[in-house]
A and B are shown apart, each in its own frame.
Chain A
Amino acid sequence: MISRRDLLKTASAGALALLMAPALIGSSFSRDMTLEEALKEHLGATLSDLTQSDKVRIKAPTIAESGANVPVQISADVPVEEVEALYIFADANFNPWVTTVELSPMNGEVFFATRIKLAKTSVVRAIIKMKDGTLLATSKEIKVTVGGCG
């Protein structure tokens, strides 16, 4: 909500500025996206292009007390030489894309760990893009609850 004072300030600055304000605010927002849109943007693929594989593993809590800090560890039993990049997506986020990790043979193995934000209970996906174009994927649901005394 825009505070009263801001509203007044903007108003006295002229109606034009006020008319433009929503557009300006809007531009700093990342646009809401669906998972399909995010997959298309970052991988040029659709959900059906993903190959579910038990070679890819996600280590993450089943229940997270705070959606602001969910530890996620991705690893995969494939030679790192054959891997181009590793992706993390969270279905229920405003923008499901979380991160892209470009790996090289110097990494020794396919591994990445970080902490991510989840807007709400969501499926988290790890996708490994192989050099031959195959997309190996796995997913895990993480329940986000209220932490502390509430």
Chain B
Amino acid sequence: MKEKKYLVGIIAGGSFLVAAVTAQEQTPSHLQELLELGMHPGHAYVDEGRELFNTMKGPNGKTCASCHGEDGSKNLEGAYARMPRYYTDIGKVADLDLRILSCMTQYMGFDPKDKKFRKEFDKWSGKYRVPLATFVASLSNGMEINVQIDDPQEEEMYKKGEKLWFMRVGARDFSCGICHSVLAGKRIRLQGLPDPVKAKVYTHWPAYRFGNDRMWTMEDRVRSCFRAYFLFEKKWNEKSDWVKKPPPYSDWVIALELYMKHAANGGVIEVPGLLR
């Protein structure tokens, strides 16, 4: 319900006239009506993730359910609410995507250097990551986000995330913060700019985006955001010098996730979310 309220809140649709009058003015919107349909393809990902969780065997014969119980009944409920966090077994701060990867490689016997496996895992259209992440996240539905910063590594990552959030860089002089903190509430075209601190956006991630008809985890989202920065190595050149994304599961991504999710503490998780 909270999710719905929030989503409806951020949609500032409208014609030119409306736009000229006020930013808060809302007209019947696309997304609002999509939400009213009540069911969306994100639910198919949860379904698929559950099946993988229970039946997909790693090279050593174990499934996710071998350790976590059928449907994640053992120790996985609420796990997502605490992520990203420091894990002693991998020795670093991990987000949902990296945690699943490390589980599959450390405990199920997948080879992290196996190209075929990594293709299926890393790509958004691959078999494993997105459905599993969506399913595992959905096990925390109804719970409050509760990200703690008590390990020194977590603290370091948090600081890194905060710095990155406000860092102006790239050929467009953007930072996350200028649009999502300073200008929050305004619109980019018809898209409202949510403030992750006040609006607790993290509650509905991973989310299904109708714009390109696929499920996004926050990892995908953060990495893709950097495309808009027009980051460059030497001198800005769209064709030869554009550094589009940071590498997957890198500290930059996880630091930003930690910063944002900590800001969303107290928000009630409801995934899969739904976006324009």
Question: CB atoms of A and B under 8 A apart anywhere in the complex?
Answer: yes
Shortest beta-carbon distance, A145 to chain B, in Å? Answer: 6
Question: By the criterion CB–CB under 8 Å, are A115 and B34 in contact?
Answer: yes
B33 and A65 contacting across the interface, CB-CB below 8 Å: no
Question: In this assembly, does B228 line the interface, its C-beta being within 8 Å of a C-beta of chain A?
Answer: yes
Contact A113 B189 (CB under 8 A): no
Task: Indicate whether A148 sits within 8 Å of B28 (C-beta atoms), given known contacts A69-B210, A71-B37.
Answer: no
Prevailing SS type, chain A contact patch: loop
Decide: A63 and B29 in contact? CB cutoff 8 A.
yes
Complex contact B213–A65 (CB within 8 A) = no
- A147 shortest CB reach to chain B, Å: 5
Question: A148-B188, A149-B189, A149-B228 given as contacts; is B33 within 8 A of A60 (CB)?
Answer: yes
- The answer to the question of A24 belonging to the interface, with a C-beta cut-off of 8 Å to chain B, is no
**Is B247 an interface residue, CB under 8 A from the partner?**
no
Mask for B128-161, Cβ within 8 A of A = 1, else 0? 0000000000000000000000000000000000
Query: B189 contacts A148, CB within 8 Å?
Result: yes
Number of A-B contacts (CB under 8 A): 69
Is B276 part of the contact surface with A, judged by Cβ < 8 Å?
Answer: yes
Q: If A61-B33, A71-B37 touch, does A148 touch B276 (CB 8 Å cutoff)?
A: yes
Question: Is B190 at the interface (CB under 8 A from chain A)?
Answer: yes
**Interface size of B in residues (CB-CB distance below 8 Å):** 22
| Contacts A147-B211, A149-B188 given; does A63 touch B33 at CB 8 Å | no
Size of A's binding interface in residues, CB under 8 A:
21
Instruction: Identify the interface centre among A62, A143, A150: most chain B CB within 10 Å of its CB.
Output: A62
In angstroms, Cα B30 to Cα A147, docked, is: 11
Min CB distance B201 to A, Å, is: 16
Is A65's CB under 8 angstroms from B31's CB?
yes
A35 within 8 A of B: no
Q: Does A70 contact B (CB under 8 A)?
A: yes
- A74 contacts chain B at the CB level, 8 A cutoff: no
In the assembled complex, which residues on chain A have CB atoms less than 8 Å from the CB atom of B30? 61, 63-66, 69-71
- The CA-CA distance from A28 to B24 in the complex, in Å, is 46
Closest A residue to B33 by beta carbon equals A71
How close is A141's CB to chain B, nearest CB, in angstroms?
12
Q: Smallest distance from the beta carbon of A112 to chain B beta carbons, Å?
A: 12
A59, A63, A68, A149: the one within 8 Å of B13 (CB): A63
Give B contacts to A, CB under 8 Å.
13-15, 27-34, 36-37, 188-191, 210-211, 213, 228, 276
Listed by A's residue number, 24 A-B pairs whose Cβ atoms lie within 8 Å are A60-B33, A61-B33, A62-B27, A62-B28, A63-B13, A63-B15, A63-B29, A63-B30, A64-B30, A65-B13, A66-B210, A66-B276, A69-B210, A69-B211, A69-B213, A115-B210, A143-B15, A145-B189, A145-B190, A147-B211, A147-B276, A148-B211, A149-B189, A150-B189
